[in-house]
Structure 1
């Protein structure tokens, strides 16, 4: 069953973007993204120390994020950059809460700027760059009942992703793994909010599809204009595959959150003893077991791994 799901993911990757990373011995991994990849950056600044206490594990999850599993399988180190503290000490720049289209210190453009400054503006071509962001932009679009306002958010997010890829290519980067978004209409947060707005789930799912479509088109466009080697990983299909076959993967609850990052406590249906049977750790983020499977799936699309 697992191998079948990964084959389906691979098929969707190449249908969405018939581009491939050339086989290369990557000597370094650099991550840009949000809470799905943050392994300690937000937790390092005042006010977020709770992320260093159980059940959290230095981020919004109960274990290592998928990119740490990817790094482990590639036999490469992955260390939080801690750029929010004023220096760069590692290679994971992802920060929980980051947006692709945002302009704050945690967002994509600032992450990339911090990395480029730390490299003196020139980066090695033996590095795999992972762009794993967009869910928070889609959540922002979901919350907009005004279509024009939602479209502005989408345009800015996609423009910033395109600019990020172009900046990295211009600086010498070659190899990219770009990850799209899971269905924001299916996360527990959206379902809870939908009690007040019955169109919210449909709107969130539509915005997810719109973002993922534009992201795929952008990757193709940048590749055509500037070159580079890309893989677009279809996270939407990955999550839908696990949620639709939960029992086969020993996920016995694929709809509800185990823990609340709103009131910092377990929901009555869950505790530390059965958390691993849940798909969702909290209202937005998946559990460590999902991250572990995702890390292996990401590894499977990197040619060096095959």
Structure 2
């Protein structure tokens, strides 16, 4: 009887608890950001579909329009969620699985720090590309979709007027615009320590960029905290800063050998040399990480998502206990009814006994 009760409890539990896969089931995936999230937008905008070797970033050195040696976090997380957002410049209509608006070089607000062009929107502008048509039609964004916002690094690396307060406000406005337009599930990424990237060391800006990063992340956390009163909003902060610090403190644990030097020496147009084993490096070039780091970023984002949707272990055990005790009660009542029936039907006592045991 005890075995039956526990088994029934687990059967009941399977209906009461959401599965991990269903916990992260979103209808679409929308991405807003810069080169860390771009899966082909600036590549297409700079002629990559016709002349890939002269586009930004050039292919095949950079993987299919990504600013890395292989897939980026958007690809990895999208694969885990079963969603593959289409780059905006390849399909301006809304595909079934969502759109990636992220553009390499994007500023946090408007414009682009690398490729001056009115066609290349900043992060806040990217959000407007999705929300403006929706709001003009008096509609709402898909509440079952996942929206990701990342950016700010280009403001500090290449910006002429550096202002962390304004950069963070741009990102906060992007989140607020999504939320007010109907978005319910939003990922927001902070910055890794920009003072530790090879570009900072080469330009002598390490100390300054570290200070800007710390200021940025502190302000961003404070801004995001303002959304905590919105009970309908599942806002997930992805701590890229801590992730990079862990990798740099113990690279071997994560499979890296060099966390200081870039694999690629040169810039997007003039490549001087390329290392033979890119995946041994934290940085692919002086600014962008290798694909292994992107995989870790995606894993961190997914862990944050599941923490929002999957009950804590203590809650799971409580529900399991309720399920088991509930099932046990049902079986005890059934046994009692069978026992009462056997009193009036002595001739069927053996049959009733067999039924209970089975």
User: Which bin holds the TM-score, normalised by the shorter protein?
Assistant: 0.7 to 0.9
Structure 2 unaligned blocks of 5 or more: 1-22, 113-119, 311-358
Measure the CA separation in 1 of the matches of 2:229 and 2:124: 22
Per the alignment, in what secondary structure is the counterpart of residue 100 of structure 2? coil
Aligned residue-pair number: 267
CA contact (8 A) 1:174 1:228 kept: yes
CA contact (8 A) 2:281 2:290 kept: yes
1:281 aligns with 2:299: no
- Which residue pairs with 1:99 in the alignment? 107
Q: CA deviation at 1:209?
A: 0.4
Instruction: Select 1:258's aligned residue among 258, 263, 266.
Output: 263
Measure the CA separation in 2 of the matches of 1:263 and 1:25: 40
Cα distance change of structure 1 residues 77 and 253 upon mapping to structure 2, 3 Å threshold: same
1:135 aligns with 2:153: yes
Most deviating of 174-183 and 224-233: 224-233
Query: What TM-score, normalized by structure 1, do the two folds share?
Result: 0.80
- The CA RMSD over aligned residues, in Å, is 2.4
Most deviating of 51-60 and 107-116: 51-60
Instruction: Select 2:189's aligned residue among 165, 176, 179.
Output: 179
CA contact (8 A) 2:153 2:194 kept: yes
1:54 aligns with 2:60: yes
- Which residue pairs with 1:16 in the alignment? none
1:231 aligns with 2:236: yes
Instruction: Select 2:168's aligned residue among 158, 161, 164.
Output: 158
1:112 aligns with 2:127: yes
Q: CA deviation at 1:222?
A: 2.9
Per the alignment, in what secondary structure is the counterpart of residue 155 of structure 2? helix
Instruction: Select 2:207's aligned residue among 198, 202, 205.
Output: 202
Most deviating of 63-72 and 100-109: 100-109
Measure the CA separation in 2 of the matches of 1:257 and 1:155: 30
Per the alignment, in what secondary structure is the counterpart of residue 99 of structure 2? coil
- Which residue pairs with 1:39 in the alignment? 39
CA contact (8 A) 1:102 1:157 kept: no
Measure the CA separation in 1 of the matches of 2:239 and 2:260: 20
Structure 1 unaligned blocks of 5 or more: 1-22, 195-199
Query: What TM-score, normalized by structure 2, do the two folds share?
Result: 0.69
Measure the CA separation in 2 of the matches of 1:246 and 1:289: 12
1:124 aligns with 2:130: no
